[in-house]
Structure 1
Amino acid sequence: MPAAAEATSQTTVMEPAGKITMGQEEINIFSGHPAHSVNPQLFVISTAPVVEGLMQWNSNLEAEPLLTESWNISDDFATWTFNLRKGVQFHKGYGEMTAEDVVYSYSHWITNTKHARASALQRFWDHPEGHVEILDRYTLQVNTGEPMPDVIMSEFHRVPSGIASWVVSKKQSDEIGIEAADKDIAATGPWEIVEHRPAQYWRMKAVQDHWRKTPYFAELEFQEIPEQSTRLAGFQTGNLDTFVMAFDSIPLVQAMEGAKLLIVPDQAAGEMLLHFHGGLYFNVGTPDQEAAYDPDLPWVSSNTEIGTPEWEQAKKVRQAMVKAIDTQTIVETLLQGYAQRSPVGVGGYSYSSHRFPDIPMLEYDLEGAKALMAETGYGEEGFSITLVPALRGAPAEVEVAEAIAVMWEDIGIDVKLQNLPYGTYRPTVIGRTFNGATNHATSPSNTPARLYNALQNRGSFIRHTHPYLDDVTIRAQSAVTLEERTKLETEVGKFMYDESIYASLYMWNAVWAVGPRIDDKSWSENLFYGDIRNINGYEWIEPRR
């Protein structure tokens, strides 16, 4: 298989000056070491970026080199050889990145059980039948023990992303310890962390003579501002140069003198999914039964066998809830038209929808939803459910949850809306104790199997598990040909569509506010496309001239 193309190094040297101030919805506690970093901070760190991974994704969702110069894959897709970029310097004077630093970093990523792709990282870097070998200072080889297709491997080695991983200095941790390094990490990005206060701000400085791109500005500050109205006011008064923006603020930004919008079209930002939690059908009736599994919940079956009356009852409840959501109205109002309904009604399928012509989009059918509720016996009395908007930096997350709550109330469901910080909600999913519903934004997927970890019992950030899904999704992730993977992904997709367990509502454009002091020309041409739910590429923001 041919080696990946080489990335371009920086050729222009400049003296950074000035400061960019950005309003984030949530940043939480700064944590940069692979042993500890989790969302939401894991995602935010990788957007600046303070950190860099082995690779990045281009606008076609294809992997490209970043800290690697190239990589090669054996014919059996089990041996990967990474050729690292020479001359990449760590922050804080910790010297040049080598293969030893890469192996050290991933030896800790695989122990970070709260990482959303912990199990996949373990399979790649620490498979029982595999091994890792440093060939020389800039070359390392990983044998994965089993086939690992490139579209799966590249998912968790990229930045920025909510499932990002990166390389840090081994020497720093050896000298000052992991705990200290975690709060003052020596990584390789164009921004270096300088100071931070939990849930208040992160301050970063530009890395002069960075191997890839020295920032135009000397300083970058992220401020945590949970309220959209306060972020907008900060932008309007000039205290913020850009901010995480709800789309209903777009007309106000457009009306502001000197302000502009940076729009990434073609629904490239991500897709909004609807998850029903609690359907964890492993170990039911044993001492290892998951805490989230509650057979008394209407959307959870008391019988783990597919097709039984109990299973069909719970399925009809979920189908009713999905049918009751008027996605087109959400797109036209809350998303201001900067979105479209997902062409495939299953999470992870819409960016490769041409491969799945037999899986349709979701259709709004209020009367059909009411009929299903009546058929299941909930037509008059209804039931209660907790709905949590997973705050990932996507537009109108809370407002969309509020709209879904109103639509569900139309079919007799009492919705307990909980607007929790992502750092509060996420551990309940990791701990398998949450059994409500979430509207959850995810990044674009170049193949559906990329998201299957959330459906596997071995996964860390899971929503719905069943022995059938475990078997077929694991086989799909190991398929090395597009034909075989498409066949298995189609099987999974049809099952999830029929079961209404991983619904995809819409895909949206990235729309970012550009303040009067900054310019978006170079910025818009140099984005990281792996995950643009949140603003990234600050090193490319120029002063307005």
Structure 2
Amino acid sequence: MAGSIDRRAFLRRAGTAAAAVMGAPLVPSTRATAAASDRLVVAVGQWGTETPFAWRTVQAEKPLWDCIYDPLIMRDPKTFEYRPGLATEWKPTNEMRTWTFKLRSGVKFHEGWGDLTAEDVKFTVEQNLKPDSGGGSAPFFRNNLERIETPDKLTVVLHFKNRVWEVASNFTQFVGYQNVVPKKYLETVGEEKAALHPIGTGPYRHVEGRQGDYHRFEAVAGHWRKPPAFKELVIRRVPDPATRLSGLRAGEIDIGVVFGDYLEQAAKSGLRLHDVSNAASYWVVLSGQTTPDREDYCPACPWAGDWNDPKSRESARKVRLAMNLAVNKKAIINALWKGKGTEAPFSYYYYPFHKGYSSDWKVPPYDPERAKRLLAEAGQAGGFEVRVNPMVTAYALDGPDVMEAVALDWEKIGIKPRRFPEVTSTFGPKSRNRKTNKTHWVYGSPPFDEPILAWSRVLHSKGAFNLLCDGPYDEDIETAMREFDVEKRARLTQALGQKLYDGYHGVMLGTKSITWAMTKKVGGWQSLAYVPMETNYEYVSPGS
């Protein structure tokens, strides 16, 4: 960041960019076939690597690709509970070592690629077993799956090496990943070509796209679940909030996320606002807290320490607490989030609807003087340098502003942030592989059925991601995952939640509501409860 700027000036300036929106360039239109009244244009702030396949994808791809698929298990949009999807029923046997899914008959893949069968589900799941598969569920299947049987065209039987209670969650609309692809199509054209034009069973089929820019979809007439009201869907990647609002005002975008001062600008422009309250729990990922076999491993980093050295471990905990206390969360909530957030009780991936949620987990208060004392106690009175990436991510579209606010507060206690901007499409894979060069960044978490399911993915040393720390809590996670009694598992989960809270492994910022602005073309939208991302496009109804 060129020159110096105090925090108050930054927070004021971060929002006022909206005033320049009237002169911002409008979003260019795509080649389209439907009349404007039949076309729905959604601007998403970010997606990941644009990968449409379950075995390689992360949740950042869901706003782009979920419309072409149907999950085996749907979610009730209001309660988040399971509902039948491609699977009409599912049940465990053999003490949860065997799971059987019964598929819906007559469901067809797009463009004549045949009926959905058990072989397609088997093929999709087995792709997770490839050594290079980096999807969020891939480690679960690689570590636990023994074999899959298909006794008939509509029955899938998964056999696991051990008892597993979490199988169903991996096939849900959210946060599951197993969107089923046609085996015949993938084997005919190959994965590389299929990735450019994916085929599914969903309410929209893919027509065309341009990498990093947009994708166009066409409604599937008579879709078994929900025929879309709009004949054409265009999903655009528009990271800049001013450009999104400009497109909304011009009528070239129909749905787009707004935040900060853009909320007021959107309301003044006559746009309707659609909220999902307290949907994303924000924290700063403090990279370097990983295992010795990983490139990011950094026992010399003041915030990471050496977990095998009690003195180093405690000093690092003090540093992380200082990094928490240095940040003025109320200022972020009020100035950047415009009050659409809360310092609610907080522990990573814990939501109020989860068993064991504790009101004692308070976001650490703003106390820079205590932060300085803690740094001195940890032998870091002179401060230290950190790398930060102020990037836009799918769950934290305001990541650059929030990261900058945090960085400016850290500077006040002697921590010296160095800014290394990098887009999520290249930084994300580095983070998953623990190769970020110890770079910190802002993350907003989605909900899981239980926090332990999230932690098995992002805390365990064999997990797909590192969003807090790797290794120290492997035994706690494994113990909870082995517990089949729901109440006992909730107690184990809460105990681990307390450990994570006391460890201050990330800088806790608060829980944010997500707001979309909609034009008059949109009459209503049955989006998914608790989910801070665009979903359920087929349930967007036209305005009168």
| Coarse TM-score class (shorter-chain normalised) | 0.7 to 0.9
CA displacement at 1:16 relative to structure 2 = 12
Q: Which stretch of structure 1 is more off in the superposition, 417-426 or 93-102? A: 417-426
Structure 1 partner of 2:8: none
Structure 1 partner of 2:13: none
CA displacement at 1:55 relative to structure 2 = 1.3
2:167 paired residue among 126, 136, 153? 153
Q: What whole-Å deviation, never above 9, does each CA across 1:308-355 have from its counterpart, x for those lacking one?
A: 1111111111111012222222222211222212313x2012334661
CA displacement at 1:360 relative to structure 2 = 1.7
SS of 2:308's partner is: coil
Q: What are the equivalent positions in structure 2 for 1:362-381 lying under 5 Å apart?
A: 362-364=363-365, 365-381=367-383
Equivalent-residue separation in structure 2 for 1:468 and 1:28 (angstroms) = 29
2:151 paired residue among 132, 135, 141? 135
Q: Which stretch of structure 1 is more off in the superposition, 453-462 or 184-193? A: 453-462
- With over 3 angstroms needed to count, the CA separation of the structure-2 counterparts of 1:260 and 1:224, relative to structure 1, is same
Q: Which stretch of structure 1 is more off in the superposition, 197-206 or 415-424? A: 415-424
Q: Which stretch of structure 1 is more off in the superposition, 317-326 or 29-38? A: 29-38
Structure 2 partner of 1:180: 193
Q: Normalized against structure 2, the TM-score is what? A: 0.87
SS of 2:387's partner is: strand
Q: What are the equivalent positions in structure 2 for 1:383-532 lying under 5 Å apart?
A: 383-389=385-391, 391-434=393-436, 435-452=438-455, 453-465=457-469, 467-502=471-506, 504-520=508-524, 523-524=525-526, 527-529=527-529, 532=531
Structure 2 partner of 1:81: 100
Structure 1 partner of 2:254: 241
Equivalent-residue separation in structure 2 for 1:172 and 1:251 (angstroms) = 47
- With over 3 angstroms needed to count, the CA separation of the structure-2 counterparts of 1:244 and 1:62, relative to structure 1, is same
SS of 1:261's partner is: strand
Letter in 2 for 1:535: E
Structure 2 partner of 1:8: none
Structure 1 residues not aligned, in runs of 5+: 1-14
Structure 2 partner of 1:7: none
Q: Which stretch of structure 1 is more off in the superposition, 346-355 or 65-74? A: 346-355
Equivalent-residue separation in structure 2 for 1:424 and 1:68 (angstroms) = 35
1:94 paired residue among 113, 118, 136? 113
Equivalent-residue separation in structure 2 for 1:444 and 1:135 (angstroms) = 35
Equivalent-residue separation in structure 2 for 1:354 and 1:333 (angstroms) = 32
- With over 3 angstroms needed to count, the CA separation of the structure-2 counterparts of 1:447 and 1:537, relative to structure 1, is same
Structure 1 partner of 2:534: 535
Structure 2 partner of 1:263: 275
Equivalent-residue separation in structure 2 for 1:154 and 1:394 (angstroms) = 27
Contact 2:52–2:65 (8 Å) recurs in 1: no
Equivalent-residue separation in structure 1 for 2:408 and 2:354 (angstroms) = 30
Q: What are the equivalent positions in structure 2 for 1:161-240 lying under 5 Å apart?
A: 161=175, 164-240=177-253
> How many correspondences in the alignment?
505
Equivalent-residue separation in structure 1 for 2:466 and 2:49 (angstroms) = 24
SS of 1:350's partner is: coil
Contact 1:80–1:142 (8 Å) recurs in 2: yes
Equivalent-residue separation in structure 2 for 1:363 and 1:418 (angstroms) = 27
Q: What whole-Å deviation, never above 9, does each CA across 1:340-390 have from its counterpart, x for those lacking one?
A: 12313x201233466143852222122221210122232334433324446
Equivalent-residue separation in structure 1 for 2:514 and 2:467 (angstroms) = 26
CA displacement at 1:91 relative to structure 2 = 0.7
Note if 1:315 corresponds to 2:317: yes
Equivalent-residue separation in structure 2 for 1:544 and 1:356 (angstroms) = 39
Equivalent-residue separation in structure 2 for 1:171 and 1:442 (angstroms) = 36
Contact 1:270–1:441 (8 Å) recurs in 2: yes
CA displacement at 1:245 relative to structure 2 = 2.1
Contact 2:391–2:423 (8 Å) recurs in 1: no
Letter in 1 for 2:364: E
- With over 3 angstroms needed to count, the CA separation of the structure-2 counterparts of 1:363 and 1:466, relative to structure 1, is closer
Contact 1:46–1:160 (8 Å) recurs in 2: no
Equivalent-residue separation in structure 2 for 1:430 and 1:219 (angstroms) = 34
Contact 2:391–2:441 (8 Å) recurs in 1: yes
Equivalent-residue separation in structure 2 for 1:50 and 1:395 (angstroms) = 24
Structure 2 partner of 1:252: 265
Contact 1:317–1:372 (8 Å) recurs in 2: yes
Contact 1:53–1:67 (8 Å) recurs in 2: yes
Contact 1:50–1:192 (8 Å) recurs in 2: yes
Contact 2:452–2:481 (8 Å) recurs in 1: yes
Report % sequence identity.
24
Note if 1:18 corresponds to 2:38: yes
Structure 2 partner of 1:274: 284
Structure 1 partner of 2:21: none
Structure 1 partner of 2:69: 51
Q: Normalized against structure 1, the TM-score is what? A: 0.87
- With over 3 angstroms needed to count, the CA separation of the structure-2 counterparts of 1:46 and 1:242, relative to structure 1, is same
Contact 2:257–2:516 (8 Å) recurs in 1: yes
Equivalent-residue separation in structure 1 for 2:217 and 2:332 (angstroms) = 37
Q: Which stretch of structure 1 is more off in the superposition, 415-424 or 131-140? A: 415-424
- With over 3 angstroms needed to count, the CA separation of the structure-2 counterparts of 1:463 and 1:541, relative to structure 1, is closer
Equivalent-residue separation in structure 2 for 1:154 and 1:181 (angstroms) = 27
CA displacement at 1:504 relative to structure 2 = 4.2
Equivalent-residue separation in structure 1 for 2:519 and 2:36 (angstroms) = 19
CA displacement at 1:190 relative to structure 2 = 0.6
2:134 paired residue among 100, 114, 117? 114
Q: What whole-Å deviation, never above 9, does each CA across 1:36-77 have from its counterpart, x for those lacking one?
A: 44564x323344x11222113333333222111111122622
- With over 3 angstroms needed to count, the CA separation of the structure-2 counterparts of 1:56 and 1:23, relative to structure 1, is same
Contact 1:347–1:503 (8 Å) recurs in 2: no
Q: Which stretch of structure 1 is more off in the superposition, 479-488 or 84-93? A: 479-488
SS of 2:284's partner is: strand
Contact 1:253–1:513 (8 Å) recurs in 2: yes
Equivalent-residue separation in structure 2 for 1:165 and 1:64 (angstroms) = 16
Equivalent-residue separation in structure 1 for 2:55 and 2:312 (angstroms) = 42
CA RMSD of aligned residues (A): 2.4
Structure 1 partner of 2:349: 348
SS of 1:215's partner is: coil
Letter in 1 for 2:99: W
Structure 2 partner of 1:64: 83
Structure 2 residues not aligned, in runs of 5+: 1-34
SS of 2:239's partner is: coil
